[in-house]
Protein backbone atom coordinates (compact mmCIF):
# COMPACT_ATOMS: atom_id res chain seq x y z
CA UNK A 1 0.00 0.00 0.00
CA UNK A 2 2.84 2.38 0.82
CA UNK A 3 4.50 1.76 -2.56
CA UNK A 4 1.23 2.38 -4.38
CA UNK A 5 0.69 5.63 -2.53
CA UNK A 6 4.27 6.70 -3.22
CA UNK A 7 3.85 5.90 -6.92
CA UNK A 8 0.62 7.92 -7.03
CA UNK A 9 2.27 10.86 -5.35
CA UNK A 10 5.23 10.79 -7.73
CA UNK A 11 2.95 10.63 -10.78
CA UNK A 12 0.88 13.55 -9.48
CA UNK A 13 4.00 15.67 -9.03
CA UNK A 14 5.23 14.76 -12.51
CA UNK A 15 1.90 15.63 -14.14
CA UNK A 16 1.76 18.92 -12.21
CA UNK A 17 5.13 20.10 -13.49
CA UNK A 18 4.45 18.75 -16.96
CA UNK A 19 1.19 20.68 -17.28
CA UNK A 20 2.62 23.91 -15.89
CA UNK A 21 5.69 23.53 -18.02
CA UNK A 22 3.63 23.39 -21.21
CA UNK A 23 1.74 26.61 -20.44
CA UNK A 24 3.54 29.74 -21.54
CA UNK A 25 3.92 32.67 -19.25
CA UNK A 26 0.81 34.86 -19.89
CA UNK A 27 2.87 38.02 -19.92
CA UNK A 28 5.25 36.47 -22.41
CA UNK A 29 2.42 35.13 -24.58
CA UNK A 30 0.66 38.51 -24.76
CA UNK A 31 3.79 40.26 -26.03
CA UNK A 32 3.66 43.69 -27.60
CA UNK A 33 1.77 45.37 -30.41
CA UNK A 34 2.12 48.28 -32.78
CA UNK A 35 -0.42 51.05 -33.27
CA UNK A 36 -0.93 53.86 -35.74
CA UNK A 37 -3.95 56.12 -36.19
CA UNK A 38 -5.55 59.42 -35.24
CA UNK A 39 -8.73 61.25 -34.26
CA UNK A 40 -9.67 64.54 -35.89
CA UNK A 41 -13.37 65.15 -35.24
CA UNK A 42 -16.00 65.70 -37.87
CA UNK A 43 -15.39 67.57 -41.08
CA UNK A 44 -17.11 70.92 -41.65
CA UNK A 45 -19.23 69.36 -44.38
CA UNK A 46 -21.07 67.22 -41.82
CA UNK A 47 -21.28 69.71 -38.97
CA UNK A 48 -24.88 70.71 -39.76
CA UNK A 49 -26.08 67.19 -38.97
CA UNK A 50 -24.74 67.43 -35.43
CA UNK A 51 -25.28 71.03 -34.42
CA UNK A 52 -28.20 72.21 -36.45
CA UNK A 53 -28.58 76.01 -36.41
CA UNK A 54 -31.87 77.15 -35.09
CA UNK A 55 -34.16 78.47 -37.79
CA UNK A 56 -34.79 82.17 -37.62
CA UNK A 57 -38.50 82.85 -37.60
CA UNK A 58 -39.93 86.20 -38.54
CA UNK A 59 -41.64 87.87 -35.63
CA UNK A 60 -45.38 87.68 -35.87
CA UNK A 61 -47.32 90.85 -36.40
CA UNK A 62 -48.74 92.34 -33.27
CA UNK A 63 -52.42 91.66 -32.98
CA UNK A 64 -54.92 93.21 -30.69
CA UNK A 65 -55.94 90.90 -27.88
CA UNK A 66 -59.25 89.16 -28.40
CA UNK A 67 -61.59 89.13 -25.48
CA UNK A 68 -64.45 86.70 -25.53
CA UNK A 69 -67.29 87.41 -23.15
CA UNK A 70 -69.91 84.75 -22.75
CA UNK A 71 -73.33 85.55 -21.29
CA UNK A 72 -74.47 84.17 -17.99
CA UNK A 73 -76.25 80.86 -18.01
CA UNK A 74 -79.84 81.24 -19.15
CA UNK A 75 -82.60 80.31 -16.78
CA UNK A 76 -85.22 77.95 -18.12
CA UNK A 77 -88.16 79.87 -16.71
CA UNK A 78 -91.27 80.44 -18.77
CA UNK A 79 -92.04 83.58 -16.78
CA UNK A 80 -88.69 85.19 -17.58
CA UNK A 81 -89.02 88.86 -18.57
CA UNK A 82 -86.70 90.60 -21.03
CA UNK A 83 -86.36 94.02 -19.45
CA UNK A 84 -82.82 94.80 -20.71
CA UNK A 85 -83.41 95.45 -24.38
CA UNK A 86 -81.08 98.47 -24.69
CA UNK A 87 -77.30 98.66 -24.83
CA UNK A 88 -75.38 100.63 -22.21
CA UNK A 89 -75.09 103.54 -24.64
CA UNK A 90 -78.84 103.67 -25.07
CA UNK A 91 -78.93 102.03 -28.53
CA UNK A 92 -81.91 99.80 -28.99
CA UNK A 93 -81.19 96.08 -29.33
CA UNK A 94 -82.43 94.47 -32.53
CA UNK A 95 -84.83 91.59 -32.20
CA UNK A 96 -88.46 90.66 -32.48
CA UNK A 97 -91.15 92.14 -30.25
CA UNK A 98 -92.86 89.92 -27.77
CA UNK A 99 -95.53 90.29 -25.12
CA UNK A 100 -94.49 88.87 -21.76
CA UNK A 101 -96.79 88.48 -18.77
CA UNK A 102 -95.10 88.65 -15.40
CA UNK A 103 -96.21 86.58 -12.36
CA UNK A 104 -98.03 89.57 -10.86
CA UNK A 105 -100.24 89.82 -13.92
CA UNK A 106 -98.58 92.81 -15.57
CA UNK A 107 -98.14 92.70 -19.33
CA UNK A 108 -95.02 94.18 -20.95
CA UNK A 109 -93.92 94.53 -24.54
CA UNK A 110 -90.21 93.67 -24.87
CA UNK A 111 -87.73 93.06 -27.65
CA UNK A 112 -86.06 89.64 -27.52
CA UNK A 113 -82.31 89.34 -28.00
CA UNK A 114 -80.37 86.12 -28.61
CA UNK A 115 -77.46 86.00 -26.15
CA UNK A 116 -75.58 83.14 -27.91
CA UNK A 117 -71.90 84.04 -28.65
CA UNK A 118 -72.43 83.63 -32.41
CA UNK A 119 -75.82 85.34 -32.52
CA UNK A 120 -74.43 88.47 -34.17
CA UNK A 121 -72.25 86.50 -36.62
CA UNK A 122 -73.25 85.29 -40.03
CA UNK A 123 -71.41 81.98 -39.32
CA UNK A 124 -72.90 79.24 -37.25
CA UNK A 125 -71.11 77.12 -34.64
CA UNK A 126 -70.83 74.22 -37.09
CA UNK A 127 -69.06 76.52 -39.56
CA UNK A 128 -66.49 77.42 -36.92
CA UNK A 129 -65.90 73.76 -36.03
CA UNK A 130 -65.43 72.91 -39.71
CA UNK A 131 -62.94 75.75 -40.19
CA UNK A 132 -60.95 74.62 -37.13
CA UNK A 133 -60.81 71.05 -38.46
CA UNK A 134 -59.55 72.18 -41.86
CA UNK A 135 -56.91 74.37 -40.19
CA UNK A 136 -55.69 71.44 -38.09
CA UNK A 137 -55.40 69.18 -41.15
CA UNK A 138 -53.48 71.79 -43.14
CA UNK A 139 -51.12 72.48 -40.22
CA UNK A 140 -50.37 68.77 -39.80
CA UNK A 141 -49.63 68.47 -43.51
CA UNK A 142 -47.19 71.38 -43.41
CA UNK A 143 -45.37 69.92 -40.39
CA UNK A 144 -45.09 66.50 -42.05
CA UNK A 145 -43.72 68.10 -45.19
CA UNK A 146 -41.04 69.90 -43.18
CA UNK A 147 -40.17 66.63 -41.47
CA UNK A 148 -39.80 64.89 -44.83
CA UNK A 149 -37.63 67.71 -46.14
CA UNK A 150 -35.43 67.45 -43.05
CA UNK A 151 -35.08 63.67 -43.54
CA UNK A 152 -34.31 64.21 -47.23
CA UNK A 153 -31.63 66.71 -46.24
CA UNK A 154 -29.99 64.07 -44.02
CA UNK A 155 -29.99 61.62 -46.94
CA UNK A 156 -28.82 64.16 -49.50
CA UNK A 157 -26.04 62.43 -51.51
CA UNK A 158 -24.28 65.77 -52.07
CA UNK A 159 -23.79 66.14 -48.31
CA UNK A 160 -23.75 62.45 -47.34
CA UNK A 161 -22.03 60.47 -50.11
CA UNK A 162 -21.70 57.44 -47.81
CA UNK A 163 -25.21 57.60 -46.36
CA UNK A 164 -26.77 59.27 -43.32
CA UNK A 165 -25.47 59.13 -39.76
CA UNK A 166 -22.10 57.90 -38.54
CA UNK A 167 -20.80 54.33 -38.04
CA UNK A 168 -18.20 52.46 -35.99
CA UNK A 169 -16.62 49.47 -37.75
CA UNK A 170 -13.89 47.15 -36.53
CA UNK A 171 -12.11 44.15 -38.03
CA UNK A 172 -9.77 41.61 -36.43
CA UNK A 173 -7.86 39.26 -38.72
CA UNK A 174 -5.62 36.35 -37.73
CA UNK A 175 -2.93 35.50 -40.28
CA UNK A 176 -0.45 32.68 -40.68
CA UNK A 177 3.12 33.97 -41.11
CA UNK A 178 5.53 31.13 -42.08
CA UNK A 179 8.60 33.33 -41.62
CA UNK A 180 8.31 36.48 -39.53
CA UNK A 181 11.73 37.64 -40.79
CA UNK A 182 10.56 37.65 -44.41
CA UNK A 183 10.54 41.28 -45.68
CA UNK A 184 7.31 40.58 -47.59
CA UNK A 185 5.39 39.35 -44.54
CA UNK A 186 2.41 41.35 -43.31
CA UNK A 187 4.32 42.31 -40.13
CA UNK A 188 7.16 43.96 -42.05
CA UNK A 189 4.82 45.58 -44.56
CA UNK A 190 2.74 47.24 -41.85
CA UNK A 191 5.85 48.42 -40.03
CA UNK A 192 7.21 50.01 -43.21
CA UNK A 193 3.82 51.62 -43.81
CA UNK A 194 3.84 52.99 -40.26
CA UNK A 195 7.33 54.39 -40.66
CA UNK A 196 6.48 56.21 -43.89
CA UNK A 197 2.97 57.50 -43.12
CA UNK A 198 2.19 60.57 -41.06
CA UNK A 199 -0.90 60.52 -38.85
CA UNK A 200 -0.74 64.25 -38.11
CA UNK A 201 -3.76 64.93 -40.32
CA UNK A 202 -6.89 63.23 -41.62
CA UNK A 203 -5.42 62.72 -45.10
CA UNK A 204 -2.58 60.63 -43.68
CA UNK A 205 -4.97 58.52 -41.61
CA UNK A 206 -7.18 57.76 -44.60
CA UNK A 207 -4.12 56.83 -46.67
CA UNK A 208 -3.07 54.51 -43.86
CA UNK A 209 -6.48 52.79 -43.77
CA UNK A 210 -6.56 52.43 -47.55
CA UNK A 211 -3.07 50.88 -47.68
CA UNK A 212 -3.81 48.53 -44.78
CA UNK A 213 -6.95 47.36 -46.56
CA UNK A 214 -4.87 46.80 -49.68
CA UNK A 215 -2.29 44.72 -47.78
CA UNK A 216 -5.00 42.58 -46.18
CA UNK A 217 -6.63 42.10 -49.60
CA UNK A 218 -3.34 40.74 -50.90
CA UNK A 219 -3.19 38.35 -47.97
CA UNK A 220 -6.71 37.15 -48.83
CA UNK A 221 -5.45 36.24 -52.30
CA UNK A 222 -2.46 34.43 -50.78
CA UNK A 223 -4.72 32.48 -48.42
CA UNK A 224 -2.79 33.43 -45.28
CA UNK A 225 -5.80 34.85 -43.39
CA UNK A 226 -7.17 32.10 -41.16
CA UNK A 227 -10.04 33.72 -39.23
CA UNK A 228 -11.71 37.12 -38.77
CA UNK A 229 -14.14 38.97 -36.55
CA UNK A 230 -16.06 42.11 -37.54
CA UNK A 231 -18.34 44.46 -35.61
CA UNK A 232 -20.57 47.31 -36.75
CA UNK A 233 -22.58 50.01 -34.95
CA UNK A 234 -24.58 52.78 -36.63
CA UNK A 235 -25.73 56.03 -35.04
CA UNK A 236 -28.44 58.06 -36.75
CA UNK A 237 -28.00 61.79 -37.33
CA UNK A 238 -28.63 63.71 -34.14
CA UNK A 239 -27.12 66.01 -31.57
CA UNK A 240 -25.32 63.17 -29.73
CA UNK A 241 -24.58 60.74 -32.57
CA UNK A 242 -20.92 61.74 -32.95
CA UNK A 243 -20.30 61.63 -29.19
CA UNK A 244 -21.87 58.17 -28.93
CA UNK A 245 -19.85 56.90 -31.90
CA UNK A 246 -16.55 58.19 -30.51
CA UNK A 247 -17.31 56.67 -27.11
CA UNK A 248 -17.91 53.30 -28.74
CA UNK A 249 -14.69 53.62 -30.73
CA UNK A 250 -12.68 54.50 -27.61
CA UNK A 251 -14.14 51.54 -25.72
CA UNK A 252 -13.16 49.12 -28.49
CA UNK A 253 -9.67 50.61 -28.81
CA UNK A 254 -8.95 50.50 -25.08
CA UNK A 255 -10.24 46.95 -24.74
CA UNK A 256 -8.16 45.59 -27.62
CA UNK A 257 -4.97 47.42 -26.66
CA UNK A 258 -5.21 46.20 -23.08
CA UNK A 259 -4.82 42.59 -24.26
CA UNK A 260 -1.11 43.22 -24.81
CA UNK A 261 1.56 43.86 -22.20
CA UNK A 262 2.86 46.96 -23.90
CA UNK A 263 2.77 49.03 -27.04
CA UNK A 264 6.29 48.83 -28.39
CA UNK A 265 5.60 51.19 -31.32
CA UNK A 266 2.83 53.75 -31.62
CA UNK A 267 1.98 56.76 -33.75
CA UNK A 268 -1.28 58.58 -32.99
CA UNK A 269 -2.13 62.07 -34.20
CA UNK A 270 1.45 62.43 -35.38
CA UNK A 271 3.03 61.60 -31.99
CA UNK A 272 5.37 58.60 -32.18
CA UNK A 273 6.27 56.51 -29.12
CA UNK A 274 8.80 53.65 -29.13
CA UNK A 275 9.59 51.03 -26.51
CA UNK A 276 12.79 49.13 -27.39
CA UNK A 277 12.53 46.60 -24.59
CA UNK A 278 13.93 43.22 -25.76
CA UNK A 279 12.73 39.78 -24.71
CA UNK A 280 15.08 37.01 -23.65
CA UNK A 281 16.89 35.24 -26.48
CA UNK A 282 16.08 31.80 -25.03
CA UNK A 283 12.43 32.32 -25.84
CA UNK A 284 13.31 33.19 -29.43
CA UNK A 285 15.36 30.10 -30.12
CA UNK A 286 12.66 27.75 -28.86
CA UNK A 287 9.93 29.06 -31.14
CA UNK A 288 11.53 29.48 -34.55
CA UNK A 289 10.41 31.92 -37.25
CA UNK A 290 6.83 30.74 -37.84
CA UNK A 291 4.15 32.69 -36.02
CA UNK A 292 0.58 33.87 -36.16
CA UNK A 293 -0.15 37.58 -36.58
CA UNK A 294 -3.07 39.81 -35.66
CA UNK A 295 -4.15 42.86 -37.62
CA UNK A 296 -6.99 45.07 -36.41
CA UNK A 297 -8.79 48.04 -37.94
CA UNK A 298 -11.02 50.28 -35.82
CA UNK A 299 -12.61 53.43 -37.19
CA UNK A 300 -15.44 55.95 -37.01
CA UNK A 301 -16.67 56.71 -40.52
CA UNK A 302 -19.45 58.83 -41.96
CA UNK A 303 -22.55 57.12 -43.35
CA UNK A 304 -23.60 53.49 -43.31
CA UNK A 305 -21.69 51.99 -46.23
CA UNK A 306 -20.06 49.36 -43.97
CA UNK A 307 -23.39 48.06 -42.69
CA UNK A 308 -23.30 44.81 -44.79
CA UNK A 309 -20.07 43.80 -43.03
CA UNK A 310 -21.14 43.65 -39.38
CA UNK A 311 -20.88 40.88 -36.81
CA UNK A 312 -21.00 37.35 -38.25
CA UNK A 313 -21.50 38.81 -41.74
CA UNK A 314 -17.89 38.34 -42.87
CA UNK A 315 -17.59 34.55 -42.89
CA UNK A 316 -16.06 33.89 -46.31
CA UNK A 317 -12.99 35.11 -48.12
CA UNK A 318 -15.20 36.74 -50.72
CA UNK A 319 -17.09 38.78 -48.09
CA UNK A 320 -13.80 39.78 -46.44
CA UNK A 321 -12.44 40.93 -49.78
CA UNK A 322 -15.62 42.94 -50.44
CA UNK A 323 -15.39 44.60 -47.02
CA UNK A 324 -11.75 45.59 -47.55
CA UNK A 325 -12.44 46.88 -51.06
CA UNK A 326 -15.45 48.86 -49.78
CA UNK A 327 -13.41 50.49 -47.02
CA UNK A 328 -10.49 51.27 -49.30
CA UNK A 329 -12.78 52.79 -51.92
CA UNK A 330 -14.66 54.95 -49.39
CA UNK A 331 -11.62 56.42 -47.66
CA UNK A 332 -9.95 57.07 -51.02
CA UNK A 333 -12.92 58.67 -52.79
CA UNK A 334 -14.32 60.78 -49.92
CA UNK A 335 -11.50 62.88 -48.54
CA UNK A 336 -13.05 63.75 -45.16
CA UNK A 337 -15.19 60.72 -44.29
CA UNK A 338 -13.10 59.31 -41.42
CA UNK A 339 -13.61 60.84 -37.97
CA UNK A 340 -11.15 58.61 -36.10
CA UNK A 341 -9.32 55.37 -36.83
CA UNK A 342 -6.39 53.15 -35.98
CA UNK A 343 -4.54 50.02 -37.08
CA UNK A 344 -3.12 47.56 -34.55
CA UNK A 345 -0.78 44.69 -35.37
CA UNK A 346 1.07 42.05 -33.38
CA UNK A 347 3.65 40.80 -32.82
CA UNK A 348 5.61 44.00 -33.28
CA UNK A 349 8.98 42.87 -31.96
CA UNK A 350 11.00 40.50 -34.16
CA UNK A 351 11.79 38.08 -31.34
CA UNK A 352 8.14 37.56 -30.36
CA UNK A 353 5.94 34.68 -31.50
CA UNK A 354 2.18 34.16 -31.22
CA UNK A 355 0.58 30.72 -31.09
CA UNK A 356 -2.98 29.54 -31.64
CA UNK A 357 -3.49 29.26 -27.89
CA UNK A 358 -2.44 32.88 -27.45
CA UNK A 359 -4.77 34.14 -30.17
CA UNK A 360 -7.94 32.21 -29.44
CA UNK A 361 -7.65 32.67 -25.68
CA UNK A 362 -7.96 36.46 -26.16
CA UNK A 363 -10.15 36.38 -29.28
CA UNK A 364 -12.70 33.58 -28.86
CA UNK A 365 -15.10 35.18 -31.37
CA UNK A 366 -12.78 34.76 -34.34
CA UNK A 367 -14.58 32.99 -37.16
CA UNK A 368 -12.70 30.67 -39.50
CA UNK A 369 -13.05 31.75 -43.10
CA UNK A 370 -14.81 29.43 -45.46
* Per-domain boundaries in the chain: 29-48+163-368
HSE-CB at 222 with a 13 A cutoff on CA atoms is 15
| 192-215 pLDDT, tens digit each | 999 999 999 999 999 999 999 999
pLDDT for 144 equals 80
- pLDDT higher than threshold 50 for residue 285: no
Reported as type and span, the H/E element at residue 332 is helix 317-333
Check residue 299 and give left, alpha or beta (phi > 0: left; psi -120 to 50: alpha).
beta
- pLDDT higher than threshold 70 for residue 6: no
3-state secondary structure at position 187: helix
- pLDDT higher than threshold 90 for residue 274: no
Percent of the chain with pLDDT over 70: 64
Q: pLDDT-based confidence at 140, cuts 50/70/90?
A: confident
Looking at the DSSP assignment, which residues form a beta bridge with residue 299? 169, 341
| 176-189 pLDDT, tens digit each | 999 988 999 999 99
For residues 35 and 263, the answer to whether their CB atoms sit within 8 Å is yes
- Show the 3-state SS of 244-305: HHHHHHHHHHHHHHCCCCEEEEEEECCEEEECCCCCCHHHHHCCCCCEEEEEEEEEEEECCC
To 10 degrees, the CA torsion angle through 244, 250, 255, 257?
160
pLDDT for 370 equals 80
pLDDT for 117 equals 56
pLDDT for 158 equals 62
Rounded Cα–Cα distance for residues 202 and 340 (Å): 8
For residues 339 and 38, the answer to whether their CB atoms sit within 8 Å is no
Instruction: Give how far Cα 130 sits from Cα of 137, 144, 261, Å.
Output: 11, 21, 75
Percent of the chain with pLDDT over 90: 47
pLDDT for 130 equals 84
Calculate the average pLDDT of the chain: 78
Q: pLDDT-based confidence at 281, cuts 50/70/90?
A: very low
For residues 97 and 110, the answer to whether their CB atoms sit within 8 Å is yes
pLDDT for 141 equals 86
- pLDDT higher than threshold 60 for residue 52: no
- pLDDT higher than threshold 80 for residue 290: yes
pLDDT for 317 equals 95
Q: Is the dihedral of CA 280, 283, 288, 294 positive or negative?
A: negative
Q: What is the CA radius of gyration of the chain?
A: 40
| 77-89 pLDDT, tens digit each | 444 444 455 555 5
> pTM for the complete prediction?
0.65
Amino acid sequence: MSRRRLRTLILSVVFFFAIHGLVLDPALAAGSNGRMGGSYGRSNRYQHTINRPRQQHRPARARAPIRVVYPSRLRTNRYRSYNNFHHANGEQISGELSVVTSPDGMTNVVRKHDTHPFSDSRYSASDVVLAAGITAVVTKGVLNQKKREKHHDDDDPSRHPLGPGVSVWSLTACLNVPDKNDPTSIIHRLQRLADTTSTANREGLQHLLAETSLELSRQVEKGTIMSVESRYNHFRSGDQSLVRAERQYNRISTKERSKFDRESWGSYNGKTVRDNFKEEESFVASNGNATLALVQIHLVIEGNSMQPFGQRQVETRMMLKEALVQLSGDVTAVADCVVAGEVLWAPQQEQEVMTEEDVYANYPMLWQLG
